[in-house]
A and B are shown apart, each in its own frame.
Chain A
């Protein structure tokens, strides 16, 4: 039965040769039962450590971990009813595929006939019925991955943990297995936690995304919220490709109240948070997808450096007049060439404003709600 996973003030330190390395720093959150949650972040941000603590392979230095109502902080991994798929896939090289999938059941003392039935069912679901009597070394990378998923599947775990299981596969196989994992999630009654460094994977697969920054929680929310309502510049820049453009600006006092002023734009801002920040340097965040040569209330001038074609869209890597790196994604900019000057526009509704420390001051909707003022 799926269980929620609750982390309370979880902290993990490693001590090596006199130095203390803080891998996870005061992490608190609750992953709803039965959900599919992705932990994402750059390498070294503590995502695998967090997963391993949930599995019980690492014990938190302080804080507690709960599965449903049960405190599992000090429970051995054997006794958590969790299953895990490792980055190295970790198939027992000396066992056949069938023995590999059935190993957890065998250890649990499940009778042979039941084991057979469970393995056959898993093999059918994962389309590896033909491979059951082979050794792992005879399988392709994708097949090995399916076997690893199969051995987690037959365990009927409360919690299924996956540690970057696709990092070594090529793009096509990745896409195939992504679908497989999601299908598995639908069929299984388990809370799934999936670690990846690939934010596209995180955004497309999961109900919730946990983004970590240097061992701390950056944001824990549904994927759409991370994209549209990032809580910080870090989140806005990590999520989405190409990265969110960060345009330097200052808060000034305009005719009808505060305005956010950049090189080329002047956006009216609501008095509530901005009146206290007159004169502050801020950063305006705008996603490349929301910049377009036609339309938009506010404009930015970009000098084109490189144009890439990405299917029907084009990606322009350019430079703003003040030297800021600016990317534009649009269908209609294909005929631009290097060193062209391009005027692109955006709506205030799509922008974010970050303070000096990278925290979000407000999202676009509040900028729009501020007041309307004709723009030239």
Chain B
């Protein structure tokens, strides 16, 4: 019996040691990934907020962050087209987010609530569009917009951006509305509210989390877009920030410091989303993520 007790105690220790090793490995992995993810971000921030003379002092790169300045941003706003680019970006992002979200909510509701033939085909069409290559779509869109004289217009870019963000939004809302019990609507009808009234008073408020997720995804697509803007916009004053800034490195007058300052500006909305809206975002991921 004593032997048996000893054996059990021995196992206890090894089990604990095993657990400790496992835990260390786990923490180490987490740490490595954290470093891999954060180093590029740190480098960007350090360069953007240091005077370029500090960063590139003496031929080597110093990223220790020993002095702080906003000069790079000031330079960006005074010497480059950045204010205009930002304005363009914000405008097309806002309009395409609005359009894609409205379209997704309406389509999601209709596709869920009304019975019609070919639902399977509709679902496949949405999914197919969602997997589609933006650049392949960009080429005919360019020709069509060219023919219609709509190149270099906010309208064309808004349509193109909605084109690539709406399929996923529709898919997300379609799935989301299926989790909203029809009994909620029926109970409102029984109490005398019409369908439209019900939509406004019951359906939309209940669907708000899905709507927010859709809006976040539509926003990200538009804000991050390079492909569509590159194809549709050819005049400097119509460039979005991504297209405008992509040309910075080729210009002698703009160095890394201003470029990284622009990068920081472009990172602000994603940063805010990751920080404050991540739960809505994760909801979207569970439906299938986004390109």
Contacts and interface: CB of A to CB of B under 8 A. Distances in A.
Contacts of B15: 74, 76
A72 B8 CA distance: 7
A74 B12 CA distance: 5
Nearest to A69: B1
A281 B11 CA distance: 55
A61 to B, nearest CB: 14
Interface of B is mostly: helix
A75 B8 contact: yes
B9 interface: yes
B11 A74 contact: yes
Interface in A73-107: 73-76, 79
Contacts of A75: 8, 11-12
A70 B3 CA distance: 10
Given A69-B4, A74-B8, 6 more contacts: A70-B1, A70-B5, A71-B4, A71-B5, A73-B8, A74-B9
A57 to B, nearest CB: 13
Closest 6 CB pairs of A and B: A74-B12, A75-B8, A71-B5, A69-B1, A70-B4, A74-B8
Interface residues of B, number: 8
B20 to A, nearest CB: 15
* Most chain A CB neighbours (cut-off 10 Å) among B1, B8, B15: B8
Interface in B1-34: 1, 4-5, 8-9, 11-12, 15
Contacts of B11: 74-76, 79
* Most chain A CB neighbours (cut-off 10 Å) among B1, B5, B11, B15: B5
Contacts of B8: 70-75
A191 to B, nearest CB: 19
A79 B8 CA distance: 10
Interface of A: 69-76, 79
A367 to B, nearest CB: 48
13 contacts: A70-B1, A70-B8, A71-B4, A71-B5, A71-B8, A72-B8, A74-B8, A74-B9, A74-B12, A75-B8, A75-B11, A75-B12, A79-B11
A78 to B, nearest CB: 10
A70 B4 CA distance: 7
A188 B210 CA distance: 52
Nearest to B16: A74
A3 to B, nearest CB: 13
Contacts of B9: 74
Contacts of A69: 1, 4
Nearest to A74: B12
A74 B4 CA distance: 12
Nearest to B1: A69
Nearest to A71: B5
Nearest to B15: A76
A76 B5 CA distance: 13
A362 to B, nearest CB: 42
Nearest to A72: B8
A69 B2 CA distance: 10
A75 B1 CA distance: 15
B15 to A, nearest CB: 6
Contacts of A73: 8
A74 B16 CA distance: 10
Contacts of A71: 4-5, 8
Contacts of A76: 11, 15
A205 B8 CA distance: 34
B271 to A, nearest CB: 28
A365 B15 CA distance: 54
Contacts of A70: 1, 4-5, 8
Nearest to B4: A70
B14 to A, nearest CB: 10
A74 B14 CA distance: 11
A300 to B, nearest CB: 47
B2 to A, nearest CB: 10
Nearest to B7: A75
Contacts of A72: 8
A308 to B, nearest CB: 31
A73 B7 CA distance: 12
B74 to A, nearest CB: 46
Contacts of B4: 69-71
Contacts of A79: 11
B23 to A, nearest CB: 16
Nearest to B5: A71
A73 B4 CA distance: 12
A74 B1 CA distance: 15
Contacts of B12: 74-75
A289 B9 CA distance: 52
B285 to A, nearest CB: 22
Contacts of B1: 69-70
A53 B9 CA distance: 17
A76 B12 CA distance: 8
Nearest to B9: A74
Nearest to A73: B8
B80 to A, nearest CB: 50
Contacts of A74: 8-9, 11-12, 15
A73 B170 CA distance: 55
A73 B11 CA distance: 11
A69 B1 CA distance: 7
A71 B15 CA distance: 16
Nearest to B12: A74
A70 B8 CA distance: 9
